[in-house]
Amino acid sequence: MQLLMNITNQQKAERFLSVLRHCQLLGLEVLSAEKNSLEMKLPYSEKIIGNPLAGIIHGGALTTLMDTACGTACFVAIDGMELCPTLDLRVDYMKSSEPGQDLVARASVTRITNNVVFTECLVRQQNDDTLVAKCNAAFMRIGSKMTPPAFQGVIETGDASVYMGEYSGAEEGAVAFDAQPVNSGERH
């Protein structure tokens, strides 16, 4: 399949993020994207507080930010459309973020081999550049032939509804898609 990749690194990153529903619910946003690095924001929200008394963002939301920023950086750095699942993610939490502060991840691809992509990421508070966490991560290269055609269509066109189904946001916090149900009784 010939790919039409007349899109910018920013568009490629934003379109990749558009198919990750959990990232949309977190409000993740690509601030900038270059060939081997990008910046991604996690806006502060009361829905992602881990400690209600302190108002601090939950470590799971912070880890999702780092994993997604690094994975998106991989997707942008590799020519064409090759998904790269996370192999390893090592996180160092440096300091709790302050209540009410948005976080910005700066992810960089440090090395690309035939089988693995290596990345690093720093997360800082947007208001004062305080380092909150950092990580090193490795992603497995699976080849562009393993990337689903519908996913490729999203990246080429920017229309995530083709891949994700329609989102029904009728109720606050509701998550519903027109996707087919999975038979949970089957063993895989």
The pTM assigned to this predicted structure is 0.83
CATH for the stretch 9-164: 3.10.129.10
Per-residue pLDDT tens over the stretch 79-120: 988 999 999 999 999 999 999 999 999 999 999 999 999 999
64: phi then psi, degrees, rounded to nearest 5: -60, -40
- For residue range 12-36, list pLDDT tens digits in order: 999 999 988 899 899 999 999 999 9
Residues 6+ apart with CB under 8 A from 123: 62, 65, 66, 103, 104, 105, 106, 131, 132, 133, 134
